[in-house]
Amino acid sequence: MTRRLRSTVVAAGVVAVLASTVTATAEGGGPRLVSLSARPDLATAGDVLVAADVPPGKRVRITLNGADITDSFRPAAHRLTGLVDHLRPGRNHIVATAGNLRDQLVVTNHPATGPVISGPHQTPFACTTDLFRLVDGSTLGAPLDDDCSIATRVDYAYRSTDGRTKPLPDSTDRPGDLAWTTTSTGATVPFLIRVETGTLNRAIYQISMLHDPATDEPTFHRRGPGWNDRLIYTFGGGCRRGWYTQGTDTGGVLDPRMLGRGYAVASASLNVFGNNCNDLLAAETMMMVKERFVERYGDPLFTIGWGSSGGAYQSHQIADNYPGLLDGIVVGRSFPDVVSATNFTLFDARLLEHYFTEVAPGEFSQEAQRQVSGFLRWQSIGNLSDGANRLDPDAEFPAELPAALRYDAETNPGGARGDVYDHTANVFGRDPATGFARRPLDNVGVQYGLAALNAGAITTRQFLDLNEGIGGLDLDARPTPHRTEADPIATRAAYRTGRILSGGLGLADVPIIDYRTYSEDAANGDIHMTTHGFATRARLEAANGDADNQVFLVEDGRYGGFSLTSPVLREALSGMDQWLTGLAADGSGRSAHQRVVRNKPADLTDTCWSRDAQPRRIVQPITVDNTGECGRLYPAYATPRLVAGAPLTDDVVACRRKDIERSDYLVDLTPAEWTRLRVIFPTGVCDWSKPGAGQQRPHGTWQVIA
């Protein structure tokens, strides 16, 4: 997995036996079996990469379930390493003996098709191998089974001197327009790209790296000069329609700037949130693909998580909840997680749009509506209300899912429901009365427009009318006159399992570069609001006492949302590489968080770039109160929930309530208005100074859903 796990985790699956003729060269005591590719209880696909550290001068014998497999191991440095395959389903016993010394590793092997940690597979599920395009434009063809499997294959491409990536049908051919590249480790090699494609966990995965097909195939004990010993795992964006499909794309494995520097790049179709908007399933898929990578090519020096928008969700939550899979993350247009800040904002935007257009049309000016929403653009209300389709079980489905299988409240109430909650029902559970997923979604006690009232942007009557009439959404996302109440079981599960980002688990010890192309001033508004990045920072500070392992980089959108055509993002990749390289070499006794902060490059700090034709670098703390030149250029705006008084962490599902207090209002209310306010909020208003109902820290890392 990574070096931080090796002392306590051993590979899952069958461990190859060391021949009795091999003499151990490891220093220190032993023998000791260590897994390099997976946790011992979570191995998959029938194999695992294992290292054996043994006493000096001792002969070692290794067995798998009683059979000698010593010949499968090779000496490397001061240890023996071997790929152990043919693991049987379930528990396997690997034993290393050296004289009278002995060590045992118990490995539990899970199927390559999954599931492992995410609970039962979702049904229905549309296979898309016949739609997935390879580097030569062909497809993978029909799946081999109901789990959407294909035979693993290797294809080659190359980078041409005119800057294009082209297929290489004949691996013995050296095209006349073949480009060359020099990697970050100084190796100059032909720009030939090896792409492995296969299926794991019902996802299509791809692994690419520089490799000359005229040389021996790369393996864990024989690496070619083109790989710089580092891995980038890319995560794709989206969320809407992200269910019931295998998907037709990955996060991308052919970026020439990554490959040209020598990075290996991996991704999978279920690591694209437009295919799968479930961070737990995404973590499981990434875990299995990385295991495959390590078993085939060896353990990288470090792994960088790389993704924007929906890719940022995955990077944050995988790093926090499943530490060891990612060593550092570079995220763009970020959100903390799926369940809290984003869903709250979309939910509130849907309610506001309905109120302003259907309940009280013409009662609020566009500017008054904007002030209630907190957004920079009034248009964001409608834009984000449309984004709330992810909460609507019959609004949006992947094209591959037949219409006959889709939920419709009237015509097909037993069909597959297309929303984020039913997609994550393994975590939230199902209400036995409806069969639908329980929801951690609530607005009871929320005083919409409170800050706008106190600023004089709306009248007291408008404030009272709004909160009396805003209502909620039912299980089918239809407006209701009453507020929405969160299911307490789902709410506790969201916190307990890490579906709501804590920031205080693995993420505390991971370098984070949060790169943002500012888009809040887009003509139609945008969901990618700066405040969501500040929510993550606030959670890091609340959980760990500081957010010194996180850096903000902000520029305008001239290079698109998240593209290495941007010099700033290229600088971010170089800075992350430098940060992690230093961290990998740090053998000090400091805490993991201290080591991360200590190894942060001195010039890697909060920075923005001006909007000039030749952008200027502006180094300053980037803060939510929009101070300094960066705050003027790229101001952060609020959300409806923040206007209502919610904390910046934006992680309260169901607020605890208090009696109405006069000190909360900077305007004078008449006795009749006080009476009306108490009628609107009969159980009180949100007390944002307290944790939410059911709010708790996650119950540890590496949780498994049965």
Average pLDDT of 507-523? 97
pLDDT digit string, tens, across residues 250-261: 999 999 999 999
pLDDT reported for residue 29: 64
Task: Report whether pLDDT(25) > 80.
Answer: no
pLDDT digit string, tens, across residues 459-507: 999 999 999 999 999 999 999 999 999 999 999 999 999 999 999 999 9
Judge whether 191 lies within some domain.
no
pLDDT reported for residue 79: 87
Task: Report whether pLDDT(264) > 70.
Answer: yes
Tell me the two tokens of residue 291: 């295991």
Residue at token pair 């999954």: 114
Q: Which of 223, 215, 219 is nearest to 190 (CA)?
A: 215
Mark which of 83, 110, 137 sits at the end of a domain.
110
222 pLDDT band, cuts 50/70/90, is: confident
pLDDT reported for residue 54: 84
Whether 667 contacts 454, CB under 8 Å: yes
Sign of the alpha-carbon dihedral angle for 500, 504, 505, 508: positive
Rounded-to-integer distance, Cα 95 and Cα 139, Å: 43
Q: Whole-number mean pLDDT of the chain?
A: 94
User: Which run of H or E residues covers position 538?
Assistant: helix 530-544
Cβ neighbours of residue 522 closer than 8 Å, sequence gap 6 or more: 377
56 pLDDT band, cuts 50/70/90, is: confident
Find the CATH number of the domain harbouring 68.
2.60.40.10
* 699 vs 19, residue with greater confidence: 699
Rounded-to-integer distance, Cα 287 and Cα 280, Å: 11
- Quickly count: other Cβ atoms within 10 Å of residue 632's Cβ: 10
Average pLDDT of 398-403? 97
Judge whether 377 lies within some domain.
yes
Mark which of 87, 110, 133 sits at the end of a domain.
110
* 375 vs 3, residue with greater confidence: 375
Rounded-to-integer distance, Cα 698 and Cα 317, Å: 12
Tell me the two tokens of residue 549: 């392992």
Judge whether 332 lies within some domain.
no
Exposed/middle/buried for residue 290 (C-beta within 10 Å: 0-12, 13-18, 19+): buried
pLDDT reported for residue 77: 64
Among 20-34, 147-161, 690-704, which stretch is predicted with the lowest mean pLDDT? 20-34
Rounded-to-integer distance, Cα 419 and Cα 430, Å: 13
pLDDT digit string, tens, across residues 59-89: 899 999 999 999 999 987 678 999 999 999 9
Tell me the two tokens of residue 351: 């309610």
Cβ neighbours of residue 295 closer than 8 Å, sequence gap 6 or more: 37, 47, 48, 49, 83, 220
pLDDT reported for residue 26: 38
Rounded-to-integer distance, Cα 621 and Cα 633, Å: 13
Rounded-to-integer distance, Cα 236 and Cα 305, Å: 11
Average pLDDT of 311-316? 98
Mark which of 79, 110, 141 sits at the end of a domain.
110
Whether 558 contacts 578, CB under 8 Å: no
Average pLDDT of 348-373? 98
Tell me the two tokens of residue 410: 């009237």
Exposed/middle/buried for residue 204 (C-beta within 10 Å: 0-12, 13-18, 19+): buried
pLDDT digit string, tens, across residues 224-239: 899 999 999 999 999 9
Peptide bond into 40 cis (omega under 30): no
Residue at token pair 């570069």: 513
Q: What is the pTM of this model?
A: 0.95
Judge whether 51 lies within some domain.
yes
In 212-283, which ranges are E strands? 230-235, 264-268
Average pLDDT of 628-644? 98
What single-letter amino acid sits at 405? L
Instruction: State the alpha helices, DSSP H only, in 185-331.
Output: 256-260, 279-297, 310-321
What single-letter amino acid sits at 217? E
pLDDT reported for residue 154: 97
Q: What 3-state DSSP class applies to 379? A: helix
Judge whether 484 lies within some domain.
yes
Task: Report whether pLDDT(7) > 60.
Answer: no
CA angle 653, 504, 577 (to 5 degrees): 125
| Total domains present in the chain | 2
The boundaries of the domain holding residue 480 are 340-497+641-693
pLDDT reported for residue 519: 96
Judge whether 94 lies within some domain.
yes
pLDDT reported for residue 95: 97
CA distances to 334, 353, 395, 399, 524 from 386, in Å = 19, 10, 10, 19, 12
Average pLDDT of 361-388? 98
Whether 273 contacts 396, CB under 8 Å: no
Rounded-to-integer distance, Cα 114 and Cα 120, Å: 9
pLDDT digit string, tens, across residues 173-201: 899 999 999 999 999 999 999 999 999 99
Judge whether 676 lies within some domain.
yes
Tell me the two tokens of residue 274: 């437009």
Task: Report whether pLDDT(509) > 50.
Answer: yes
Rounded-to-integer distance, Cα 663 and Cα 502, Å: 31
Q: Going edge to edge, which strands form the sheet with 165-167? A: 165-167, 153-159, 192-200, 203-210, 264-268, 230-235, 302-308, 328-332, 512-517, 550-555, 607-609, 617-619
Average pLDDT of 543-565? 97
Judge whether 604 lies within some domain.
no
Average pLDDT of 403-413? 97
CA angle 417, 344, 249 (to 5 degrees): 55
Whether 651 contacts 499, CB under 8 Å: no
